[in-house]
Structure 1
């Protein structure tokens, strides 16, 4: 029986660049790495690596085996799954955003809930010179803007909508937007499909003319994500298809 070695104490906070240096030392084909191998691959001293490994183990990125070697743990797999899911979502969302921006002449975005905020995850900007200047990754409050309203809509409510949410001046006094919630295969809220522009151009009357375009695009996107209940035609009051 292999005797487990004692674990070193952690003193201080490991710097991010050294943590990443250790994690990226693992290569395809590695099952586990010894301390000596990590020293050779990273150029860090043993005591530094041992301290880093304790932090990484505490956060679920590394498992220390009984023989003292280290292997990647479940948190790495979870982040990889998040990454793959994001890539897959992008494949579904981006073509619709390009289509929506072309059809409406305005900026089309996809927002997701991020704690107490909404985050712009994907975006296709309008070709107009006068437009809102936001980029993917930008945060906005969960206020009364159309996108925020869509991100609060439960499945039964969102699927019954016969026109998008509309807001004017909710976050920015000069901006207006229309939005619909987007649901996935398990009826989970995936995000919000948003068209935004200057309030002088995206009026409530203009939003009404874009209603069918928004509804059709949202249902196409949900169908591609495997969501049931999207067979209802645009412009109709819908009932959830279970």
Structure 2
């Protein structure tokens, strides 16, 4: 079993899910695929079935559950956001010369859906898919509804020492749906990143909001 997060029960459950993702599995198949004890494989599969992410086929084998359909549709809607945002953020990166990101709120955290890196050798890399807190960094505060009267929020060394960022909200009729950010070393963005790139970030965020209408 591949340990990914260090959270034992989650890693084991995902091992079961990956096994079933390759095709219907009997309990014996699950045990052989995952290397888990029979009782553990059975307990996890039954719990996942209870959540609807696994089900039984006509032969009693474990199969992917119908709850994944709704999750997949939700994920697809997020991917359409990424597809729409990519050319706009690419222009923002080229205009500013710095790394740019697109974040969305996910529970009490924020997730990076899109990250385009600066060509500079010295850069701040934000991995796509990474989760960060909402209470630190300009994007987190934007996603919780904070912004200056100019429409952007900046942070300097707040979440990561030596890194500055400026973010602006992407809004629709229901509120903030995403945050567009420019981030990089303080040496380049300065201690007033909003002065340097606030307008550009707001323009990009508004373009994305218009494109999503």
TM-score by length of 2: 0.74
> For the structure 1 residues 69 and 43, does the alpha-carbon distance in structure 2 shift closer, same or farther, using more than 3 Å as the test?
closer
Cα distance per residue 1:71-104 (max 9 Å; x no partner): 7543121121122112211101211221111000
Q: Could you tell me which of 114, 138, 141 is aligned with 2:130?
A: 138
Instruction: Specify the alignment match of 1:17 in structure 2.
Output: 15
Instruction: Specify the alignment match of 2:168 in structure 1.
Output: 180
Q: Take 1:175 and 1:70, find their aligned partners in 2: how far apart are those partners?
A: 47
Please provide the CA RMSD for this pair. Answer: 3.4
Instruction: Specify the alignment match of 2:180 in structure 1.
Output: 193
Unaligned stretches of 5+ residues in structure 1 = 1-12, 27-37, 227-242
Assess if the C-alpha contact under 8 Å between 2:89 and 2:116 holds in 1.
yes
Assess if the C-alpha contact under 8 Å between 1:166 and 1:204 holds in 2.
no
Which one has a larger percent helix, Structure 1 or Structure 2? Answer: 2
Unaligned stretches of 5+ residues in structure 2 = 1-8, 33-37
Q: Does 1:91 align with 2:89?
A: no
Q: Take 1:23 and 1:205, find their aligned partners in 2: how far apart are those partners?
A: 48
Q: Determine which structure has more spread, i.e. the larger CA radius of gyration.
A: 1
> For the structure 1 residues 18 and 151, does the alpha-carbon distance in structure 2 shift closer, same or farther, using more than 3 Å as the test?
closer
Secondary structure (helix, strand or coil) at the match of 1:201 reads helix
> For the structure 1 residues 53 and 140, does the alpha-carbon distance in structure 2 shift closer, same or farther, using more than 3 Å as the test?
closer
Instruction: Specify the alignment match of 2:209 in structure 1.
Output: 222
Residue correspondences, number:
197
Q: Take 2:66 and 2:149, find their aligned partners in 1: how far apart are those partners?
A: 40
Q: Does 1:55 align with 2:23?
A: no
Matches within 5 A, 1:1-242: 16-25=14-23, 39=26, 54-64=46-56, 73-153=65-145, 161-184=149-172, 186-204=173-191, 207-226=194-213
Cα distance per residue 1:172-218 (max 9 Å; x no partner): 2311111011124x424322111011112212555324333222211
Between 1:87-96 and 1:51-60, the stretch displaced more is 51-60
